[in-house]
Amino acid sequence: MTISGRAVVLAAIGLVPVVLWPGWGSLLGWAALFVVVVLLDLLLAGSARALRVHREPIATIRMGTSTPGSFVLTNPGRRTVRGSLRDAWQPSAGATGERHRVNLPAGQSRRIVTTLTPTRRGDRQAGDVTVRSFGPLGIAARQYSLPAPGRLRVLPPFTSRKHLPSKLARLRELDGRTSLRIRGQGTEFDSLRDYVGGDDVRSIDWRATARRGGVVVRTWRPERDRRVLLVLDTSRTSAARVGDEPRLDAAMDAALLLAALASRAGDRVDLLAMDRRVRARVEGAGRSDLLPQLVSAMAPVEADLVEADWAAIVATVLGRMPQRALVVLLTPLEGAAIEEGLMPVIARLCSRHRVVVASVADPQVAAMADGRGDAYAVYGAAAAGRAVLDRAATTAELRRMGVDVIDASPEDLPPQLADRYLALKAAGLL
Amino acid sequence: MSTAAEAPTTAPTPPSLRQDSKEAWRRWRWPLCVLAVIVLAGAVIALSVPAGDDGRRLSPGNAAPEGGRALAQVLARQGVDVVRADRTEEATGATTSGSTLVVTDTMLLAPEQLDRLARDDASRLVLIEPDEVTLNVLAPQVRAAGYSNHTDREYADCSVGAAVTAGDIRGGGHLYARSGGATEGGVAVCYPQSDSDGTSGVDSSTERGSYVVTAANGRQVVVIGQSDLLTNEHLAENGNAALALNTFGAQSSLVWYLPDPLEVVGADQRPVLTDLLPSWVFWSLVQLALVALLAMAWRARRFGRLVGEPLPVVVRAAETQEGRARLYRQAGARGRAAATLRTTSLRRLATRVAAPGGTTPQQLVVLVAAATGRNPFEVEQTLLGPAPASDGALVELADRLDALERAAGMHSTPTRPQ
């Protein structure tokens, strides 16, 4: 049970008889009256315990947008339930106006809507629905928390999708192009067309020219139906915060842009999120539902404070990808973790696949490296310089093994990774 | 590789523990010193100031010339139990039917205290220089009769045993006489002072003296008008000591009452705040307290339980670098910091001057000097010179490296502030 402000006012009115007739009599008399009124109000209140809550499923939304979260409240009791209720959500679900007034006659139902504006990615959980059912006087209420489990899936924001149009335009430029530059073994024959001035004479198809009577050139299109595997490292090094978000979120952003691009280019994209065990996996998704599958698989994944088991990751990748593929490792270039975990096993991966390591760099380190002016700033610059040198050494070692390395800030990483993909595609190196 | 290289700069565990205790000592040094000084000063003051020496005139513990310690000590040596009292309750509580009660500074006594003293069961009462109000209550047969500055020797001139035995004493002081309704037999006036020298026609009713013995409230009352004779300074003169000892030590128990001017009189009878307030105030306060409790219950009741939020890691990625920077600074690792700064500069300069792979630093110095047109020795000092000797030199080195890079590239990196 609980009481309202009216109960306090009722008790305060008791000052009048106490002042007029001081003594135990008026004090206890008023107290008795108060107790009787409160008990009467409680008895006449509708039962909160008997209410039924049915939470309706909530559509998955992308972070940064709002959605109504609703449930149906049914009163199977014999009395009207009057009062207030609270629809509890985790703070990061961003429930505004989670308290509602309720006036539910017996045998009726109401839909109650709480607007949710989540502030974090992942699954946001709902708590109980707590009902306060006041009596006719509004002095005392029965309070009961009805268990109402619910979940709102919040997808990664995919802020880098603004880069998608320009990258798709670049992809179209690759399409239908004569092999003006390189004719890699991966590019595929597309069609024949008439020669126009400027075409590479080496691409003239002499047999077709002879048949046709005019000069005909072959055109090429980028290879299709290649396989791309995105590997998200969800270990401790991905948990560190860069700017306002964990590194993992920036890596997801880059992975989504690459996946969107690659699926338009006709490649098949798979996802593997792993530290010591597989945290999420998307395989064999069709072109149309690839992105939805990816974001919903990524949504609940959080970085875990464990060391990545690179041997297991490499074994998983090799087991799932028998044929050649582009393997993108989205992992921070942290000296020790890479040296001791990835280096010993990456050769096995490189022998079968094309490997790209994409790392989220911290712009703050670059800012520190430029620190000048006083001793503290210069020591900071030296420490940041040390980190930059370490990363450079790691990068050099990876490149020596034939691994492409991209190390960029959260904003620059998605477009740079997309550019690298396009470059590989243009070169037919997939 | 970086962790292995950094290992020597981080201190092993035992020195850091010692540093912890050193740090704690440095933090608590001053508070501990101040505390020690306070304790020491308090102890010295407590030891140097003897207890009980309150400096009051005629106090049994006061060894000053106007104190009464000599008299109290002589009395104690003669077997008299001297009890000092500061409050009326103490005085009346300490007296029995076989004790003498001495009261000094009677002008400090309130009427209530005088009434209490009048009801006291001491069989002898000694009043030192009492005023009129006190006499009215404690010795109504005696009245105050002026003051005399003649401190010459006086003769007893009465039949009181103590005065006769003592003989000559220090005279003068407050003078007392029989009051109007008193009989001659009830009041004995000793050491009389005549109004005029040599005249014998003094009326008995105007006889004034500084030592008066009478009876009141069923006990003997002695009024001493000249308190000087009791002091440490004058006790040994003439018959002062004999008179004082006979007056004070007539009984085995002596209660020496020095009224305290700060004593609150009749605290139990004075009305307190609750007596002055109307009774409904108390009851409404009780009611208000109940209302306050209800208001707390109203506001404190939680609307359903909280929903926990699994928080992500909040460690910033750059924290490692910041920690390393602090370690460098704490350890004064100028050599290491300078080497790192030079290496990063060399790497950038190598790209600027388009040095081929495998160029040694010495060769790079020559290339850079050629590209910038600077003195090769100066360039070598900047890029490969000795470690800076101070933090200031390190800052200066960083600026020189920047200037060199700017000169080599003709334009600086966009992120660098000019």
The length of chain B, given as a count of residues = 418
Looking at CA atoms only, how far is residue B311 from chain A in angstroms? 9
Beta bridge partners of A228: A269, A326
- CATH fold label, A1-155: Immunoglobulin-like (2.60.40)
Closest Cα to residue A58, out of A154, A166, A192? A154
Q: Which residues of A117-153 are buried (b: 16+ CB within 10 A; e: fewer)?
A: ebebbbbbbbbbbbbbbbbebebbbbbbbbebebebb
> Cβ–Cβ of B312/A86 closer than 8 Å?
no
> Cβ–Cβ of A382/B290 closer than 8 Å?
no
> Cβ–Cβ of B395/A374 closer than 8 Å?
yes
The range of the structural domain enclosing residue B237 comes to 69-257
Of B295, B326, B344, the CB nearest to A389: B344
The CA distance from B161 to B154, in Å, is 16
Of A92, A240, A335, the CB nearest to B317: A240
Query: Same domain for B246 and B376?
Result: no
B365 within 8 A of B408, measured Cβ to Cβ = no
Least confident of A243-257, A388-402, B399-413: B399-413
The CA distance from A24 to A32, in Å, is 12
The CA distance from B135 to B147, in Å, is 16
Q: Is residue B64 part of a domain?
A: no
The CA distance from A395 to B182, in Å, is 124
Q: Is residue B392 part of a domain?
A: yes
Query: Same domain for B352 and B210?
Result: no
pLDDT tops 80 at residue B224: yes
The CA distance from B32 to B27, in Å, is 10
**């309706």: which residue's tokens?**
A56
pLDDT in tens, B152-170: 777 878 888 888 888 888 8
pLDDT tops 70 at residue B338: yes
B159 within 8 A of B170, measured Cβ to Cβ = no
> Cβ–Cβ of B347/A392 closer than 8 Å?
yes
> Cβ–Cβ of B301/A30 closer than 8 Å?
no
A285 within 8 A of A259, measured Cβ to Cβ = no
Q: What is the pLDDT of residue B53?
A: 52
A328 within 8 A of A356, measured Cβ to Cβ = yes
Looking at CA atoms only, how far is residue B113 from chain A in angstroms? 38
CA angle at A59 for the pair A57 and A63, rounded to the nearest 5°? 135
Centre a 10 Å sphere on the Cβ of residue A33 and count the other Cβ atoms it contains: 15
- Name the domain boundary from B257, B287, B318: B257
- Name the domain boundary from B257, B276, B303: B257
pLDDT tops 60 at residue A227: yes
Nearest residue of chain B to residue A145 (CA atoms): B304
Q: What is the pLDDT of residue A329?
A: 95
pLDDT in tens, A15-49: 999 999 888 899 999 999 999 999 999 999 999 99
Extract the tokens encoding A42.
């409680």
**């390393």: which residue's tokens?**
B324
> What number is the average pLDDT over the span A260-271?
91
Whether ipTM exceeds 0.85: no
Residues of B in contact with A368 (CB under 8 A): 318, 321-322, 325
Of A242, A386, A388, the CB nearest to B317: A242
Looking at CA atoms only, how far is residue B386 from chain A in angstroms? 16
Beta bridge partners of A86: A99, A130
Model confidence at A225, pLDDT cuts 50, 70, 90, reads confident
Closest Cα to residue A42, out of A75, A73, A74, A83? A83
Residues of A in contact with B394 (CB under 8 A): 375, 378-379
Whether A23 has its CB under 8 Å from any CB of chain B: the answer is: yes
Looking at CA atoms only, how far is residue A379 from chain B in angstroms? 5
Of B280, B329, B341, the CB nearest to A385: B341
Looking at CA atoms only, how far is residue B286 from chain A in angstroms? 8
pLDDT in tens, A160-199: 989 999 998 888 887 655 444 444 444 567 778 888 887 7
Whether B347 has its CB under 8 Å from any CB of chain A: the answer is: yes
Looking at CA atoms only, how far is residue A19 from chain B in angstroms? 5
Question: What's the burial of B12, exposed, middle or buried (CB within 10 Å: 0-12/13-18/19+)?
Answer: exposed
Nearest residue of chain A to residue B331 (CA atoms): A379
Q: Taking all residues of chain A, what is their mean pLDDT, rounded to a whole number?
A: 89
Q: What is the pLDDT of residue A174?
A: 76
Looking at CA atoms only, how far is residue B411 from chain A in angstroms? 15
Looking at CA atoms only, how far is residue B48 from chain A in angstroms? 56
Q: Between A and B, how many residue pairs show a Cβ–Cβ distance under 8 A? A: 202
pLDDT tops 90 at residue A139: yes
Q: Is residue B23 part of a domain?
A: no
pLDDT tops 80 at residue B77: yes
- Name the domain boundary from B257, B288, B313: B257
The domain locations on chain A are 1-155, 176-221, 224-426
> What number is the average pLDDT over the span B10-19?
52
Query: Same domain for B196 and B107?
Result: yes
Residues of B in contact with A129 (CB under 8 A): 304
pLDDT in tens, B15-63: 456 677 888 888 889 999 999 999 999 999 888 765 555 678 888 888 8
Work out whether strand A109-116 and strand A95-96 pair parallel, antiparallel, or are unpaired: antiparallel
CATH code for the domain defined by A224-426 = 3.40.50.410
Q: Is residue B231 part of a domain?
A: yes
Of A20, A91, A335, the CB nearest to B2: A335
The CA distance from B339 to B403, in Å, is 17
The CA distance from A124 to B301, in Å, is 26
Whether A302 has its CB under 8 Å from any CB of chain B: the answer is: yes
Centre a 10 Å sphere on the Cβ of residue A401 and count the other Cβ atoms it contains: 13
Residues of A in contact with B304 (CB under 8 A): 86, 88, 127-130, 145
Looking at CA atoms only, how far is residue B362 from chain A in angstroms? 20
Model confidence at B206, pLDDT cuts 50, 70, 90, reads low
Closest Cα to residue A180, out of A220, A222, A224? A220
Residues 270-299 of chain A with CB under 8 A from chain B are: none
In chain B, count H helices and then E strands: 15, 11
Query: Same domain for B368 and B223?
Result: no
Q: How many domains does chain B have?
A: 2
Whether B295 has its CB under 8 Å from any CB of chain A: the answer is: yes
Residues of A in contact with B288 (CB under 8 A): 12, 15
> Cβ–Cβ of A389/B319 closer than 8 Å?
no
Q: What is the pLDDT of residue A187?
A: 59
Query: Same domain for B82 and B221?
Result: yes
pLDDT tops 50 at residue A417: yes
Whether A380 has its CB under 8 Å from any CB of chain B: the answer is: yes
Looking at CA atoms only, how far is residue A105 from chain B in angstroms? 22
Whether B219 has its CB under 8 Å from any CB of chain A: the answer is: no
Whether B158 has its CB under 8 Å from any CB of chain A: the answer is: no
For an interface test with A, the pick among B279, B288, B293, B294 (most A C-beta atoms closer than 10 Å) comes out as B294
Helix (H, G, I), strand (E, B) or coil at B224: strand
> Cβ–Cβ of B415/A8 closer than 8 Å?
no
Query: Same domain for B346 and B220?
Result: no
Q: Is residue B126 part of a domain?
A: yes
Residues of B in contact with A27 (CB under 8 A): 283, 286-287
Centre a 10 Å sphere on the Cβ of residue B175 and count the other Cβ atoms it contains: 23
Long-range contacts (CB closer than 8 Å, 24 or more residues apart) made by B136-141: B137/B111, B138/B114, B138/B216, B138/B217, B138/B221, B139/B212, B139/B214, B139/B216, B139/B221, B139/B223, B140/B179, B140/B216, B141/B178, B141/B179, B141/B181, B141/B182, B141/B186, B141/B187, B141/B214, B141/B215, B141/B216
Q: Is residue B290 part of a domain?
A: no
For an interface test with B, the pick among A379, A391, A409, A412 (most B C-beta atoms closer than 10 Å) comes out as A379
Q: Is residue B263 part of a domain?
A: no
Of A247, A335, A383, the CB nearest to B328: A383
> Cβ–Cβ of B321/A368 closer than 8 Å?
yes
Q: Taking all residues of chain B, what is their mean pLDDT, rounded to a whole number?
A: 82
Of A3, A372, A386, the CB nearest to B324: A386
Q: Is residue B311 part of a domain?
A: no
The CA distance from B27 to B19, in Å, is 12
Query: Same domain for B253 and B336?
Result: no
CA angle at B226 for the pair B224 and B228, rounded to the nearest 5°? 125
> What number is the average pLDDT over the span B171-192?
81
Q: For residues B80 and A218, which has the higher predicted lDDT (pLDDT)?
A: B80
Q: What is the pLDDT of residue B298?
A: 93
Q: What is the pLDDT of residue A63?
A: 87
Extract the tokens encoding B275.
């007596």
